[in-house]
Amino acid sequence: MAEENCTHNCSSCSSACEKKDIKASLREGSSVKKVIAVVSGKGGVGKSLVTSLLAAKMSKKGFKTAILDADITGPSIPTSFGVGDERVLAGKNGEILPVKTESGIQIMSMNVILEHNNDPVIWRGSLISGTVLQFWRDALWENVDFMFVDMPPGTGDVPLTVFQSLPIDGIIVVSSPQGLVRVIVEKAVKMAELMNIPILGLVENMSFVRCPDCKKEIHLYGQSNIEKIARDFGIPLLARIPISEEISRAVDEGEIECVESPFLDAAMSSLENL
């Protein structure tokens, strides 16, 4: 089959082409047990927030966690953890040493490489994809139990590179309650299916606001139909994350590790079951 016509879905392919393993290898001394990609069919739904909360919660449970920030042109992970002013270092053998948060979460992101945080990354897709692979191959990942990959929105070069080249154990799809939610979920689900990657579940961000007086849920974007969508696609609904002043403040102040997130308990169980 011609390369441009390949769907990368080898299980349903009738072609006699050689099925090669094109997974990128880690450098000597690195160890990553499970890789979870956090994805969405569009931007602005909170992938970075979900990635940060998942990594922080797993770290609190005693797992060694890491974040590979694959959103090269719009990195935000270091700011959420308060390490936006830190920079990666080079090891004695030329390896890249990821930045570590207060609780020891290892982070590779464009913002810990650039000279200034506000420097724009004006690159073409091939260079961006190559940088993501360099994060994986050239960094020294120390005994990581769970690595979370914060993906850029959509289904373009970087998601394709990550799904083809990294040993993804599963994806978590992030959506929001707006009307386009079904399209958002469907794009991500279909790409995962084409790439033969299991979908661990669905997380809805900005799901509601809880009244501080009566504790009632207020749905700013209208009543969500996320549970029906999860049933329609046959994937678990792992969490509904509220709009919260506490979460917003923690992100702005670089204290995401301090956020209590009981709404992610089901997601934690799904990850631990891996």
d(CA 153, CA 188): 9
d(CA 80, CA 250): 7
Looking at every residue in the chain, the average pLDDT score rounds to: 88
Which pLDDT does position 202 carry in this prediction? 94
The two structure tokens encoding residue 86: 């830190």
Which pLDDT does position 20 carry in this prediction? 52
d(CA 69, CA 136): 10
Half-sphere exposure of 252 (CA within 13 A, CB side): 6
pLDDT band for 248, please (50, 70, 90 cuts): very high
Contacts with 226 (C-beta within 8 Å, 6 or more apart), sequence order = 175, 177, 181, 202, 204, 207, 237, 240
Percentage of the chain with pLDDT > 70? 92
pLDDT band for 212, please (50, 70, 90 cuts): confident
Average pLDDT on 61-76 reads: 95
Give the pLDDT confidence of 170-204 residue by residue, as tens digits.
999 998 887 677 887 888 888 888 889 999 999 99
- Give the DSSP letter string of 10-22: GGG----------
pLDDT band for 45, please (50, 70, 90 cuts): confident
Percentage of the chain with pLDDT > 90? 60
Average pLDDT on 25-31 reads: 94
Model pTM score: 0.89
Return the residue matching tokens 């994060």.
135
Among 116, 109, 191, 178, which Cα is nearest to 150's?
A: 109
pLDDT band for 4, please (50, 70, 90 cuts): very low
Average pLDDT on 85-106 reads: 93
Please report, as a single letter, which amino acid is at residue 17.
C
Among 269, 210, 204, which Cα is nearest to 239's?
A: 204
